[in-house]
Amino acid sequence: MEYSRLIEHTADIGIEVWGASPEELFEHSAQAFFELMWNVPVVLPERKFDISENGNSYEELLVMLLSDLLYLHEAESVVFNRLEIVGLTPREVRAVAYGEPFDGGRHKIKTMIKAVTYHEIEVRQKDGGWVVRIIFDI
């Protein structure tokens, strides 16, 4: 994961993610999230899922977006291999996630994430790019 790294956190797991723009930061955050949860290279982009959320900040939108992906994984038994941001402002995110139904023979779950948290989350500009730390409840 060249756009993210794991961070130590008591009883949870976290990632620090960076991107050149807020859109790239959100896409990289979703990709790092997927890579924490399952073996992404074997997932095929067979289905598209449109996701749209409104909020009050990039932090809120990112937590809501990742929470939507987690919900789709759990409720619809879907695994994802890619997310594309099609619209982003500090008040709205629109995205398309690509994936397929979970297949226990092909898809191995690596980390069971229970929830995306607001704990210590801060989207900020740094060194000409954007960075965020995200903590997940496991």
**10 pLDDT exceeds 70?**
no
- What would the mean pLDDT of 83-106 be, rounded to a whole number? 97
pTM: 0.93
pLDDT at 7: 73
Task: Count other Cβ atoms within 10 Å, centred on residue 68.
Answer: 18
Fold that domain 4-110+127-137 belongs to in CATH: Archease, Possible Chaperone; Chain: A; domain 1 (3.55.10)
pLDDT at 12: 87
**9 pLDDT exceeds 80?**
no
